[in-house]
Structure 1
Amino acid sequence: MKNSKWKCLLGSAFFLIMTFIFVAPSAAIIVTTTKVTFTEEEPVVVEYSGLPGNNQDWITIVPKGTAADKWGEWFYTKGKQSGRRNFGALSPGDYEVRAYVNWPKGGFVIQARSSFSVVLQHSTPSDVLTTDKQTYAVGEDIVLIYENMPGNAQDWITVVKAGSSAEEWGEWFYTKGKRTGKKIYSNMKAGDYEARAYFNWPAGGYKIMHRHRFAVR
């Protein structure tokens, strides 16, 4: 009798262990945009995957820094675990697309997010700022090229980690009235970066007028 009980207990334990081992892990929830920069007249294209498949999983776009319990244009995924959605055009600024699950039970817990920007129609990233390469090796000099700046003495350019707020800056310089020029950045660590142009400090404030992304690998 005792042997039978032990066999039963061992069998149950073995079943639980094997179930734990072989249950496939849940896929990571991913929500992103098809580009990191859109113009003000473009629809914003969002792609998502790894959602649990609840009828009221939902996705929204908000200005970057918005509280988790606020929303902009949004939609229910209606049970779809992956897909694509076109959002309406947005005014220039920095934004975030966010994924939530199983409303209302899931509450305002952000499950995934991704940042992107909207710029003026005539101010695409290549108009003013560019680099001589898109991807650099660690230790390689980055050549930043600027063109068509407005020519104010205190127009300025900085390089920051991608996703930084508009008020953050890294190594920076005033263009001192020059409309065109170059700047070499050295010894940058691996990462994703963004060059940003601001006009006429301090009157122009922290409004990003142009931007260009590059990477160090």
Structure 2
Amino acid sequence: MSRFKLSLAAFVIFALACGTPPPPPVTLTAPAEIEIGSAFEVTWAGPDSSDDYITIVPSGAPEGEWTDYEYTSTGNPISLTAPFKPGSYEIRYATERTEPDSTIGRITLTVKDVESGITAPAEAVSGAPFEVSWTGPEGSGGVYVVMVPQGTPEGEWAGYEWHYTSMGNPLTFTAPGEPGTWEVRLSTGSFDFPADSTLARCSISIVGSEVTLDAPETAAAGSSIAIGWTGPGLDGHYITIVPSGASEGDWNEYAYTSEGNPVMLTAPAEPGEYEIRYAAEGSDTDVTLARRPITIE
């Protein structure tokens, strides 16, 4: 037997005796303390297999649980967002190669609370803009301010005006057309809440403004219509003609109230039942403050 064959055989025997080399040790480095909702970086060392990831979970969470996470293939360091519940947490280096996912490295950190607050005027007139100031978690994309009728269930926001806090401070809202008591809420949606949760809130009274429209009951298709109005006449207030039953915020031809009184609009070309609306521009959906029917012949 040649020396080459003896050497190869010896290598195979040595490899079998030693087994598979152990994976690289896992180390994790992150701040010891962070604020709720804040973004932070985790530096890591480890196997970096395609199914390895890093996550943050409450201390003592069952094996395989995860909330916000990034695969190690994303880069080094990776970025995570702190939960919105203060307490003791673990950053885990885990792998999907087992069922449930197994943890092969971990460190602990503390998530601390931060003072949250919301400030808005005590009263606003329907259709008027107003500012909302807030304090709370900085740098978190999941925090937003929403305006809802008082008593609206926790976590509801669809159909109401809302803005992410990342859009600025203060934020500008448009008072809704429905008078009554409303709430401005600083809210968050995240892994650690089953539904969006309110961090802070304040009440605001919406006062209806007297808005009227004066126009003919009928008009010929394509004709010019003079429409008189009374109302706040604020920036962003306009008058438009839309089909009866059109969705809130819809508009066709329009004229701003700043253009005069009356304003002139051209009747739709298609005969039918329509509405003349006095509306206020909103950052989400325009608000109708008054309406009256008109038949286009």
TM-score bracket, normalised by the shorter chain, equals 0.3 to 0.5
Higher RCO, 1 vs 2 (CA within 8 Å, ≥6 residues apart): 1
The TM-score with structure 1 as length reference comes to 0.42
The TM-score with structure 2 as length reference comes to 0.32
More strand by share: 2
